[in-house]
Structure 1
Amino acid sequence: MTTSFDDASFRRVLGHYPTGVCIITAVEAAGTPTGMVVGSFTSVSLDPPLVAFFPDRKSSSWARIQGAGRFCVNVLAVDQEPLCRRFSAKGVIDKFEGVSHRVSPNGSPILDDVVAWIDCDLEAIHEAGDHHIVLGRVVALEVESPGRPLLFFQGSYGAFAELTR
């Protein structure tokens, strides 16, 4: 099947849909924390409690998280854009250097001052074009700070603003 649009058009149009920004964290077998930024996180099911995110198949960060077999979704607050940029930067050797965090019930890092965290066991991985669909079975979760989440829209970061009634 041939499409009538190119990659740039696809990105431009889908950029009109805002997404939340999360950092997926895990601990590798050697005990080293690892993490990656995703803007493609969603709830999937209440029974059983499942969530999903969609990492690039070529992501080296995803490969390390996959090897851990569990992960924690950290929902970033609007003032955590610098943390987002740190975790999404290429070539940063230790993304956790100087980053305050604690350990989740399942053993993954919970970043300080996030809006919420969702602790998961890796449930399933499905191929989807140049990405994976990763399903996580939720084992624990909590709202940390009821602040506003960091959003990504049309290539920029921002915040949610309520409409006046």
Structure 2
Amino acid sequence: MSPVIEPAQFRQLLGCFPTGVAVITTITPDGQPAGLTCNSFSSVSLEPPLVLFSLRKASRLLQTFEAARGFVINVLSDQQDALSGRFASSKIEDKFDGVAWRAGALGMPLIDDCLVSFECSVHAAHEAGDHIVFIGEVRHLSAGAPDQALVFYKGAYMMLAESLRKLVVQGRLGSDDIDEAYRTLYGTLLRLASERATEAELDAVHAAADAIEAHPDDAPLKERITSASGFFASIAAAGHNEALTLMAQTMSSVLRERMTHVLPVRPRPDLFPLRRKVAHHLRQRDPDGAAAALDELIRQLRHKG
């Protein structure tokens, strides 16, 4: 006899698979927009182009989607975690109040600034346990903002982008606090990387430093942000600690917002040797030297930034 699967544990372990987040929208029989947050979106077929999402039978919007002739999958960016929370909340009656959206080619709501929206006609609906699986045929595509996807993992967003953005832009996240966080987090990761990193991962740290130095003086801001984040991401990967890696992703979000909205971004060749020093000490498996070089890099960046 097969062991009984305990629902709470099943839900918890399903959370170990990172998923994107989407808001599924449609139109009610009386023409009003309706929608909810979902992370069960998946592709099904390329020919014809089919996608699916599943909806709890207990959902208040089940009858709305069953009566609808189609729906839209609005894939959220990492800047839209507040929007995800809004459409997931049972306490907000009018989910679309204050939300920018427009009617798509099929007459259903396309939410502004999403990564992409898939407008679908209903292809099929199947009962599956306590959910209904809706399969849609994609009729129209529209790409939006070139951001990163909002990712849900183990019951939480991987990056708290919206709240961090507000703190950074409003000046409520001070430079001293950020510097201390970088020293503490990446100092620990450097110590772990000195013990655990493979030679390939050490090569990746050097390659990340190369990428920063390869930028011409007029390199676009997006490229500078990507390479700056890549250097720290390579250190995090070499540390082999999942929890600290998630924290490092959050710090990358802070770095991105500061470079976009707060810090003057200009060529800094004076910092090249300092990144090299971090990579060199890491290659020598010298955690104290690597942490000291990181501290020097942070102080120099702040002194002339």
In the superposition, the TM-score normalised over structure 2's length comes to 0.51
Offset at 1:8? 1.5
Runs of 4 or more, structure 1, over 6 Å off, are none
User: How many pairs are equivalent?
Assistant: 164
Higher relative contact order (CA 8 A, sep 6+): 1
Cα displacement string for residues 34-84 of structure 1 (whole angstroms, at most 9, x for unaligned residues): 001110001100111100011111111232122222111000011111111
Question: Would the aligned equivalents of 2:29 and 2:64 in 1 still touch at CA under 8 Å?
Answer: no
In structure 2, what is the equivalent of residue 8 of structure 1? 8
1:150 corresponds to 2:150: yes
1:82 corresponds to 2:85: no
In structure 2, what is the equivalent of residue 111 of structure 1? 111
Quote the Cα distance in structure 2 between the aligned partners of 1:101 and 1:52.
22
Instruction: Return the letter of the residue paired with 1:25.
Output: T
In structure 2, what is the equivalent of residue 127 of structure 1? 127
Identical positions, percent: 38
Of Structure 1 and Structure 2, the greater helix share is in 2
Instruction: Return the letter of the residue paired with 2:50.
Output: L
Which of the two has higher C-alpha Rg?
A: 2
Instruction: Return the letter of the residue paired with 2:139.
Output: V
Question: Would the aligned equivalents of 1:74 and 1:110 in 2 still touch at CA under 8 Å?
Answer: yes
Offset at 1:93? 1.6
Instruction: Return the letter of the residue paired with 2:122.
Output: L
Question: Would the aligned equivalents of 1:35 and 1:95 in 2 still touch at CA under 8 Å?
Answer: yes
Offset at 1:155? 0.6
Offset at 1:13? 1.2
1:26-41 alignment runs, 5 A limit: 26-41=26-41
Offset at 1:3? 2.9
Offset at 1:5? 3.5
In the superposition, the TM-score normalised over structure 1's length comes to 0.92
Question: Would the aligned equivalents of 1:35 and 1:65 in 2 still touch at CA under 8 Å?
Answer: no
Quote the Cα distance in structure 2 between the aligned partners of 1:67 and 1:112.
25
Quote the Cα distance in structure 2 between the aligned partners of 1:158 and 1:119.
27
Offset at 1:14? 1.1
Gapped runs of 5+ residues in structure 1? none
Of Structure 1 and Structure 2, the greater strand share is in 1
Offset at 1:124? 0.5
Quote the Cα distance in structure 2 between the aligned partners of 1:158 and 1:27.
31
1:93 corresponds to 2:93: yes
1:138 corresponds to 2:128: no
